[in-house]
Amino acid sequence: MNNANPRWIALQVMLQVLDKGRSLDDVFQSDWFQSLPASARDLGLSREISFGLCRWYFALSLLLEQRLQKPLRARDRDIELVLLIGLYQLLVLQTGAHAAVNETVKLTHAQNKKWASGLVNAVLRGVLRDQLVLDADAHQQACPPWIRARIQHDWGAQADAILFAQNQRPPMTLRVDNRQCTTDAYLAELAALDLEANRHPLVGSAILLDTACDVAQLPGFDEGRVSVQDAAAQLAAPLLPCAPGARVLDACAAPGGKSLHLLQYHEGIELDALDSSAARLQRLRQNLARGGQSARVLVGDAALPQTWCEGGVYDAILADVPCSASGVLRRHPDIKLLRRESDIMPLRAQQAKILDALWSVLKPGGNMLYSTCSIFKEENESQVSAFLERHAEAREIALDGLQWGTPRPHGRQILPGSDNMDGFYYALLSRCG
């Protein structure tokens, strides 16, 4: 089997995710993937299988466990993935039986494990014979138990809807730079190209595409008139007050979507874009260049301002801190496989450290917007509550009178799928004095 086969490519991608802990984005942006000789259609199918298998991995693994007479050996992880690829095609993609079974069986030969061809054939044909389907419980089973337990604890009666939403394919959402073009005018440009889209009901700059497309098809993308950004993420720049001439810090800024939006939304600000990853900052620079914007780009740890802050202070800070990413599982389903429950406590400690450190470089009278793409309360409202207890000079600015999200004891929470947005949290803090 050659390296242009989409199922073989998906298998190799999943092996890198599970065995090497690489994210799907990292693998798909790698030189290996970019150099594959496959057609755009086959690369698209390999991405579909990879994303879908991450989304349904735990539910399909449970089903597979029930169909095997004995567990596969650890060294046969590839055969387990071959079986899961077959199950995903049959039960989710509903690929034709002949293609799903025969093409999946061929993967055992590509892996030099012909002994497994009979096993794969028998399991997949047994699923067809028994007319198995993913039942209503599959949406819960598709979520790692520890994440499911936290969602149920935090959100009670809303948990089932959240778990269902996390398993849906996310829309491709665009952000129009409304200084260059109105949203309605851009919708007309898309319609002229037969790209069907609709205006987001709550976020004025956001457009939802009916079908995802290559960014090369988007008019004005190379000039920064439009960017790809979830509607919930588009709320950050308008929420952070920035007067002309203000000195603004975007902490944890890479890959730069919010940095570009801040510069496009707020006239005349001086932006510092900070991130600990020099490699990810390359993407930020590309984003800013595409939009014709400039910022001072800093490599450094947001929790250690003494290593990058040259004695200055900021009028406004966007603290979009590292988090569990539990609100964006539908967009990044590999998080289900890569994140561990043991990660949460260190993340909470890191968030608190970053908040305190950034607060030290915020001017009296300045504002800091705390943001995560998490739906865990301990990373959001509880984190803000603890911060306010530590800092008597801090006060929270209520995010009232808004149509999106749900007001919480501190801040405002968007739950996954709400108005077709990812799960995000925002809290606006002001420094008195």
User: Which residues are annotated as catalytic?
Assistant: 373
Question: Are the C-beta atoms of 427 and 407 separated by less than 8 Å?
Answer: no
SS3 71: coil
β-sheet with 226-228: strand ranges across: 197-199, 206-209, 172-176, 226-228
Say what angle helices 6-20 and 97-110 make with each other, to 10 degrees. Answer: 60
If you ran DSSP here, which 8-state letter would residue 233 be given?
G
Pairing assessment for the beta strands 314-320 and 362-372 based on DSSP bridges: parallel
Q: Which of 156, 163, 52, 142 is nearest to 423 (CA)?
A: 163
Q: Where are the alpha helices (DSSP H) in 252-334?
A: 257-265, 278-290
Pairing assessment for the beta strands 412-414 and 314-320 based on DSSP bridges: unpaired
SS3 410: coil
- Token representation of residue 6: 């989409």
- Token representation of residue 241: 């007050």
C-beta neighbour count of 365 within 10 angstroms: 10
Distance between CA atoms of residues 411 and 400, nearest Å: 9
For residue 27, give the amino acid letter.
Answer: V
Q: Which of 386, 291, 374 is nearest to 329 (CA)?
A: 374
Cis check: omega of the bond before 255, within 30 degrees of 0: yes
